[in-house]
Structure 1
């Protein structure tokens, strides 16, 4: 009987390593994000940990307001509201699908945004945490619940997932490490700016926005996992 061996196609091994790295990255993001969220939730419910700083941070920001900062941060908060983020995400996904003639990446972005809105609404009603005093609101009344911050959660998911889909989608794109670091750093900075705007304008506590950033990282991890699973399934017939 002839001695036969399975020969791995050229380029298959790097692809496997890339997929494995994507799965590890997805797991790390999911675990890290969930850990931050649950720690913040525990702090809120037990009035301990970072929740002890909620009142002090709120009072300090209210006392340190200035007309210029208020105008800038009010504009940031308006543009990144859940309504506007939904419109921006939808238009971007539609334009992307038509221009690039692809469905998967725009669908991932839309799916992540939809999941963010649903999760934020569900968690808000489950936790039912009250906002800071309405007397400190700078952009009119808001009777929505406080935990987590929908602005921060939505913006974080939009920016992080968008950067991943543009630079790291499927692990198939050759991107310089410095470019990837700068892009994800910009996404993180944008999320932090929105989080700060919600604190400054008086609508959220510190633990609200930190929990939202954790959730955004976790959702990004889910997107990376889903994308990696799809690529793995596509690679099986080829192998």
Structure 2
């Protein structure tokens, strides 16, 4: 017997609660990043607060240098320069577009990296802060402005955005949260290593890298917010009905039982009436 089976659930967007949580996470990252940046900027302009730690931290790191740490951190800072991060970001986006055959997430990554470079350049020229003493530089002269750290900003945005996009592409937003936590923890650890390399090599103050980390957090929040908005506006696929052989008979529902009772309670034609109807048809 062929019966209509229950239609399978269509693969759709994340649940509403997960979607709301994603909006709150994005808004929280944006607000936290902006708060960090503006607080550090105010401290730098007034030469108070956390800015009072700039000189002591710089002097302590310069005095604690050793060949092994210098070699490792020099390699880190060379790979994470703004130019290289832009090239790496574009390469990753292109590879993603070819492999996954999609445009949206590669465009998000490229847009984030482009915004990072533009915002960093704009703030540097607007604040106009100088670097520490050139005699403390370990990798040669650098006459660029100091606030914020372009290395830290670019590496933070790249690592955090890629971590989010990988997690979102696997659909982990609706499953265990441990994968998301580990991904962002790894991105944060990588950003801290880059920030420390800029302090250790003598090219930035502590407030430079703190402001850059705040900006990276804010840009990541904007990326997550944009992706969540797009997912929330995606249409849900219409359910379909499949025909197949029923494995077991199903019990009738209340409406079907009432319909059967009504049909049984209605009297049919009596036997004499049935004979008269048959004779009428034969005569006709």
Structure 2: how far apart are the matches of 1:24 and 1:224? 10
Structure 2: how far apart are the matches of 1:47 and 1:126? 17
- Please identify which structure carries the higher helix content: 1
TM value normalised by structure 1: 0.91
In the alignment, which residue of structure 1 is the partner of 2:57?
57
SS of the aligned residue for 2:234 comes to helix
Structure 1: how far apart are the matches of 2:129 and 2:60? 21
Shift of 1:237: 8.9
Aligned residue runs from structure 1 range 94-105, under 5 A: 94-105=94-105
Shift of 1:175: 4.5
Is residue 33 of structure 1 aligned with residue 36 of structure 2?
A: no
Cα distance 1:221–1:109, how it changes in 2: closer, same or farther (>3 A)?
same
Cα distance 1:170–1:117, how it changes in 2: closer, same or farther (>3 A)?
farther
Structure 2: how far apart are the matches of 1:178 and 1:236? 28
| Cα deviation code 1:120-178 (max 9, x no counterpart) | 00000000000001110011111110000000000000000001000035967545322
| Cα deviation code 1:172-222 (max 9, x no counterpart) | 754532222111111000000000000000000000001100100000000
Is residue 193 of structure 1 aligned with residue 193 of structure 2?
A: yes
Structure 1 stretches of 4+ moved >3 Å: 9-14, 169-175, 235-238
In the alignment, which residue of structure 2 is the partner of 1:81?
81
SS of the aligned residue for 1:145 comes to coil
Q: Does the aligned pair in 1 maintain the 2:151–2:195 contact within 8 Å? A: yes
Aligned residues: 231
Higher gyration radius (CA): 2
| Cα deviation code 1:37-76 (max 9, x no counterpart) | 0010000000011100000000000011011110000000
In the alignment, which residue of structure 2 is the partner of 1:134?
134
In the alignment, which residue of structure 2 is the partner of 1:211?
211
Q: What CA RMSD, in Å, does the superposition of the two structures yield over aligned residues?
A: 2.1
Structure 1: how far apart are the matches of 2:185 and 2:169? 17
SS of the aligned residue for 1:234 comes to coil
Q: Does the aligned pair in 2 maintain the 1:77–1:197 contact within 8 Å? A: yes
TM value normalised by structure 2: 0.77
Q: Does the aligned pair in 1 maintain the 2:85–2:154 contact within 8 Å? A: yes
Cα distance 1:135–1:144, how it changes in 2: closer, same or farther (>3 A)?
same
In the alignment, which residue of structure 1 is the partner of 2:269?
none
Q: Does the aligned pair in 1 maintain the 2:15–2:174 contact within 8 Å? A: no
SS of the aligned residue for 2:227 comes to helix
Give 5+ residue unaligned stretches, structure 2: 1-8, 239-284
SS of the aligned residue for 1:86 comes to helix
